Amino acid sequence: MGHGELRGVVALDGPSGTGKSSAARRLAAALGARYLDTGAMYRAIALAVLRAGVDPEDAERVAEVARAAALEQGDDPERSTTVLDGADVGAEIRGPEVTLAVSPVSAVPQVRELLVARQRAIIAAALAEAGGIVVEGRDIGTVVAPDAGLKVYLTADAQARAQRRARQDSASGRASTVDATLADVRRRDSYDSTRAVSPLRPAADAVELDTTSLDLKGVLAALVDLVERRGLRVVAVGG
């Protein structure tokens, strides 16, 4: 992949169900940029913890598992892969067991320190090779890439987010109800926003985008507009 139209880092933060994953991938693909799903990395570590039979609340042992895990996160927006110990776990990390475990696992300071370092390395490589990268997560604008050229914090009504998540689960073959998903959304919001290390919150200079009444096309259009307003899009002339 050569240099695309995006120059620099676009940081997309926000809680589950705001549409940031789909929007981040589409934005990266549209601009010929790389894409990093940091949430997938935390989910992979949570899966490793569960496979090891470790209690997700046992911070010391969780940290040991994280240090030992062989994790590779791809940055191609057309095919984002998550490889754990040599196997692609992209589907498995979206299961309900991992979803329950990921918040306590991601709250462990040693886990965050380890993964933030890896995420920054991926970002640096992407900037050198492709010129730009879209990074999504919960602490990108505040911790991982505080110097990002554009920081966007996506929000949406909890009910709308639960409905989206339930539809995604159903489309992926995972049993789900809106009520159960709403309870999970609220649980994760509370856990992620109150953790001691890198809590979920918008960066002071982030643009807040409410996606409650927007479809994916609308979110993407709004993001492209923000990228262009910041002067981060470079379109080649001639050829």
Q: How many CB atoms lie within 10 A of CB 229?
A: 11
The structure's pTM equals 0.89
Q: In this predicted model, what pLDDT tens digit does every residue of 32-66 receive, in sequence order? A: 999 999 999 999 999 999 999 999 999 999 999 99
The percentage of the chain sitting over the pLDDT mark of 90, rounded to a whole number, equals 74
Name all domains of the chain by residue range, CATH numbers in brackets: 8-229 (3.40.50.300)
Name which residue leads in pLDDT, 201 or 1.
Answer: 201
Residue of 222, 221, 226, 33 whose CA lies nearest to 134: 33
**Order of strands across the sheet that contains 71-73:** 71-73, 82-84, 87-88
Q: Please, which pLDDT band fits residue 239 given cuts at 50, 70 and 90?
A: very low
Q: Sort residue 17 into left (φ over 0), alpha (ψ -120 to 50) or beta.
A: left
**Least reliable range by pLDDT among 7-16, 122-131, 143-152, 229-238:** 229-238
